[in-house]
Amino acid sequence: MSVQTAHRSAQSNNADGLYNAALLLKDGKGVERDDAKAYNYLSRAVQLDHLPARIQLAALTIDGRGIDAPDCHLGTWHFKIAAEKGR
């Protein structure tokens, strides 16, 4: 998926688009790395019940990327929800 396609998809509030755009932003692939925007996109995808987005959001939360400080409690909570919903 191209960077432009991912951003267009994210702007339309598509869960997969939000997730894919967040991964590009998180890793700085094809765009300047932006942890805050990646966190925002992942949060929006989680609101749309996107399981892989929840896992990525949990990791960012524990690392403190895109937020003010690491939050192990919240990150672990996201991992727990993902584990309960996963296969």
CATH 1.10.1060.10 assigned to domain 3-85? The reply is no
Q: What is the pLDDT of residue 12?
A: 84
> Where are the chain's structural domains?
3-85
Q: Is the torsion defined by CA of 50, 53, 59, 60 positive or negative? A: negative
Amino acid identity of 54?
Answer: R
pTM: 0.90
Tens digit of each residue's pLDDT (9 = 90 or more) over 16-48: 999 999 999 999 988 899 999 999 999 999 999
Cα–Cα dist 42/2, whole Å? 18
Half-sphere exposure of residue 42: CA atoms within 13 angstroms, side-chain side: 27
Confidence of residue 10 (pLDDT cuts 50, 70, 90): confident
Q: What is the pLDDT of residue 2?
A: 65
Q: Is the pLDDT of residue 78 over 90?
A: yes
